[in-house]
């Protein structure tokens, strides 16, 4: 047996796990202020949900899904993204009655069979929001601004990230645009990789996303969606940008931004960060006004974003920000000898009950070894109990910074420690 995590997965060890908790906590607090509620959908769904929702011709559906038959032979797929499941739940439980707006956020793992590299995993973690029921451009501006505010609140400096926006049109103007890109691809096949040539039929817009340099050079000359938008899509896009301008949210228009899922309509956006190499998209999203109907639900507009935990962490660390810093223990309770062990155990528990992060030694180590351990853990206070202290019903409370020591009645220890750690 190979005793290793499967390729493309990692164990979230404490440094990363603390960072994940910090990122999700920050998200929950911020998103709640914007009226988003938590929702957690299953990690696997019926395969056809993703095939239909994400699109049969997308990279995700054609080659990246973890699909398996369960014991009854039903085809299930580990979720490669969060939107399809949330929209399925919204339809199933009628969460968005006609005319109403519902807002949800989620956080958890996603699964894609991709070639692993820096910032690209097979199991990765996302945090995302979905705003359902509003077709108006102010909803787009709110969602985009929320993503930007989130990276701001994590401390990712503005100069290390870029926000790209585009409109992909809708069912009125996109089909003709797709055809014109397909025709362009056929006319320029010589300079394109085999995959892009194949894309002409099924999914021509994906050629904009090819990492191959010669493909990028060819696609730079392709027709631009900005020249092909219908009047409604153009007006919507202008209104979104006006609101972003009013909010002071800096963005760049990127007419080649298409994103990899079929369900997007109109507004799409992506945040890219410095210091990540090829996988520099840390978050992105867009509007998907056709998705409810595609999945068999009542026509309901919607949009959302998802951000990747691993890449966000890489971007933060590249900027010198460490979101997974350990908090350390506040108090270390040490026994001078065996006679004080019970008292020390009781004190440590009393401190924890009083809300103080406290640690003690279970192994019967010497006082010197215990105090060394206290230093290593960064304890602010040491509480020491020996035969003398036991005789008078007290403990010695030592401020580890100033080395100031004071005898305190056992019952007063939690209050004294709380006062010292402020």
Residues forming contacts to ligand AMP in the complex (CB under 6 A) are: 81, 112, 114, 119-121, 124, 126, 260, 281-284, 306-308, 310-311
Q: How far is the CB of 114 from ligand AMP (least distance, A)?
A: 5
Closest CA to 313 of 282, 292, 341: 282
Q: Quote the tokens at residue 377.
A: 């853990």
Q: How far is the CB of 83 from ligand AMP (least distance, A)?
A: 8
The single residue listed with the structure tokens 């190499």 is 277
Please, are residues 420 and 380 in contact by the beta-carbon 8 Å criterion? yes
The residue number whose beta carbon is nearest to ligand AMP equals 308
Q: Quote the tokens at residue 21.
A: 């908790």
Q: How far is the CB of 322 from ligand AMP (least distance, A)?
A: 19
Q: How far is the CB of 282 from ligand AMP (least distance, A)?
A: 5
Q: Which is nearer to ligand AMP, 21 or 114 (CB)?
A: 114
Q: Which is nearer to ligand AMP, 256 or 416 (CB)?
A: 256
Listing DSSP states for 37-87 in one string gives EE----SEEEHHHHHHHH-TTSHIIIII--EEE-TT--EEEE-SSSHHHHH
Q: Quote the tokens at residue 412.
A: 């007063």
Q: Which is nearer to ligand AMP, 157 or 223 (CB)?
A: 157
Q: Which is nearer to ligand AMP, 124 or 288 (CB)?
A: 124
Residue 231 makes CB contacts below 8 A (sequence gap 6+) with: none
* Distance, CA of 40 to CA of 108 (rounded, Å): 8
* Distance, CA of 200 to CA of 202 (rounded, Å): 6
* Distance, CA of 266 to CA of 312 (rounded, Å): 26
Closest CA to 47 of 88, 93, 106: 88
Q: Which is nearer to ligand AMP, 42 or 97 (CB)?
A: 42
Q: How far is the CB of 363 from ligand AMP (least distance, A)?
A: 40
Looking only at Cα atoms, what is the longest distance across the chain? 94
Q: Which is nearer to ligand AMP, 311 or 373 (CB)?
A: 311
Closest CA to 309 of 84, 123, 130, 155: 123
Q: How far is the CB of 124 from ligand AMP (least distance, A)?
A: 3
Q: Which is nearer to ligand AMP, 142 or 310 (CB)?
A: 310
- Return the H-helix or E-strand segment holding 161: strand 161-167
* Distance, CA of 193 to CA of 338 (rounded, Å): 74
Closest CA to 123 of 115, 113, 133: 113
Q: How far is the CB of 304 from ligand AMP (least distance, A)?
A: 10
Residue 84 makes CB contacts below 8 A (sequence gap 6+) with: 45, 49, 50, 53, 54, 291, 295
Could you tell me where the beta strands, DSSP code E, fall in 205-275?
A: 252-253, 265-273
Q: Which is nearer to ligand AMP, 85 or 283 (CB)?
A: 283
Q: How far is the CB of 416 from ligand AMP (least distance, A)?
A: 47
Q: Which is nearer to ligand AMP, 112 or 287 (CB)?
A: 112
Q: How far is the CB of 126 from ligand AMP (least distance, A)?
A: 5
């Amino acid at each position: 047996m190979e005793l290793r995590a499967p390729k493309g997965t990692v164990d979230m060890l404490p440094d990363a796990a603390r960072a994940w908790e910090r990122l999700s906590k920050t998200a929950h607090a911020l998103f709640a202020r914007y009226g988003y509620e938590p929702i957690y959908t299953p990690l696997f769904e019926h395969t056809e949900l993703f095939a239909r929702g994400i699109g049969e011709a997308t990279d995700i559906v054609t080659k990246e899904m973890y699909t398996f038959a369960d014991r009854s032979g039903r085809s299930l797929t580990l979720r490669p993204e969060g939107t399809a499941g949330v929209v399925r739940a919204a339809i199933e439980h009628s969460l968005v009655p006609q005319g109403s707006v519902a807002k949800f956020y989620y956080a958890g793992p996603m699964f894609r069979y991709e070639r692993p590299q820096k910032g690209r995993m097979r199991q990765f973690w996302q945090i995302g929001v979905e705003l359902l029921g509003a077709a108006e451009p102010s909803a787009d501006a709110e969602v985009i601004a929320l993503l930007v505010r989130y990276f701001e609140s994590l401390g990712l400096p503005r100069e290390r990230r870029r926000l790209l926006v585009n409109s992909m049109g809708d069912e009125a103007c996109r089909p003709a645009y797709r055809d014109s890109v397909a025709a362009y691809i056929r006319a320029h096949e010589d300079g394109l990789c085999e995959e892009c040539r194949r894309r002409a039929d099924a999914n021509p817009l994906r050629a904009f996303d090819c990492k191959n340099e010669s493909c990028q050079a060819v696609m730079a000359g392709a027709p631009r969606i900005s020249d092909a938008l219908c009047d409604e899509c153009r007006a919507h896009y202008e209104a979104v940008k006006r609101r972003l301008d009013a909010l002071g949210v800096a963005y760049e228009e990127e007419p080649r931004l298409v994103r990899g899922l079929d369900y997007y309509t109109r507004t799409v956006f992506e945040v890219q960060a410095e210091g990540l190499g090829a996988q520099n998209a840390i978050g992105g999203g867009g509007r998907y006004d056709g998705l409810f109907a595609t999945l068999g639900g009542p026509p309901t507009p919607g949009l959302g974003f998802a951000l990747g935990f691993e890449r966000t962490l890489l971007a933060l660390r590249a900027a010198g920000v460490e979101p997974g810093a350990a908090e350390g223990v506040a108090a270390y309770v040490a026994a001078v000898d065996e006679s004080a062990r019970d008292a020390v155990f009781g004190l440590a528990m009393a401190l924890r009950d009083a809300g103080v992060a406290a640690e003690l030694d279970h192994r019967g180590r010497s006082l010197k070894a215990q105090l060394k351990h206290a230093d290593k853990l960064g304890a602010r206070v040491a509480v020491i109990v020996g035969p003398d202290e036991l005789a008078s019903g007290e403990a010695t409370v030592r401020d580890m910074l100033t080395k100031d020591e004071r005898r305190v009645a056992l019952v007063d220890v939690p209050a004294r420690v709380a006062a010292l750690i402020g």
